[in-house]
Amino acid sequence: MVQLQVTLLLTVLTTFTRLVAAKAGEIGKPSNKQDDDKLRPQFHLTPGKGWMNDPNGLWYDRKDKIWHAYYQHNKDHNVWNSPISWGHSTSKDLVSWDYYGNALSPKDPGEGYFSGSIVVDRENTSGFFNESTPKEQRAVAMYTHNTNKEVQSLAYTLDGGYSWTEYDRNPVIDMNTAQQRDPKIFWHQDTKKWVMLIARTQKYKVQFFTSKNLKDWEHVSDFEMEVENPSKGDGSSHKWVLTLALHPGSPLGGPLNQYFIGEFDGKRFTPDDHATRLMDYGKDFYSFTTFDSADEEDGPNLGLAWATNWQYATVVPTENFRSFELILERESNFTFWTLYS
């Protein structure tokens, strides 16, 4: 069975991808200088301790000039194990990272807060904020809450991403299924609505939803493909790109990231063709997603991917952490219908 992970990157031809931020409760030393482990990478984001996999909830705080990265994390085990939380690290330069432990964690240790995304709700469409929270720091997270089924829930931060309040009317989407996860949200300027993409992993498709307030969602279309984990791009130019993370499926074995170029009208993505285009041909590039909230002066479209492979992720020979470092930040652009990163 192919496992889908919609790393849904709706981005635009000839433009670059964006950014997002956050913060948590367990302050530590810089994650790439945390210990004497000779196998710890010095130029990749690694957790201070424990397990890391898919990046999610990436954003850039334009007020404090901080890059925030969240990721699937278990700080007490160096292999994938419940409970899965959202780990959190921050950086000023995308090279040196400070580790903050868990940002969002399930109350039941048998459950998980799986991948999702963060958007900056500058105009307070959600009603979560007042004037005491700067517009640049009005971050809202949506994540998959995994119990005996998978539902989509919200949380928001009043301090720039370092602590989170879960929405008291969660979940905001419950399709009564165990295979709907990894929501990716972005603002669609033409329709003045939020757009969300969710992977229906065993239905071979991505579902598109729209909302005016991040709380009430309407299902508007499907893209038929087996995937997981959505991610969005700029939207200011004339082409959109949908990226998908699939496992297995790589020519070299294990997972891959695939992308489609096409049109998006605010409800439906229509690919220009069905050509198979891969973002990376190596074995250690999975679950690519992009940062939210940066404007063009903050830099080009940037994103992170998980720099390992499920074929050997649990046996990498490290001790304090399992070396699932996130790959170096990638700048993505499109030339002659080919994605370069």
Q: Which residue has the tokens 């994650």?
A: 31
Coil, strand or helix: which one is 112? strand
Give 193's strand partners. 188
What Rg do the C-alpha atoms of the chain give, in angstroms?
A: 18
Q: Which residue has the tokens 């990376």?
A: 280
Distance CA 136, CA 121 (A): 8
Q: Are 302 and 19 in contact (CB under 8 A)?
A: yes
Handedness of CA 296, 298, 300, 303 (dihedral sign): negative
DSSP per residue over 174-191, as a string? --S-SS-EEEEEEEETTT
Parallel, antiparallel, or unpaired for β 330-331 and 333-335? unpaired
Q: Which residue has the tokens 């400070």?
A: 98
Q: Which residue has the tokens 């190596």?
A: 282
Choosing from 54, 98, 121, 182, the catalytic residue is 54
Between the CA of residue 328 and those of 264, 284, 325, what are the distances in Å? Answer: 29, 12, 9
Catalytic residue flag (residue 298): no
Distance CA 96, CA 23 (A): 15
Which residues touch 222 (CB under 8 Å, ≥6 apart)? 200, 205, 206, 207, 208
- Supply 260's token pair: 């489609």
- Active-site positions read 54
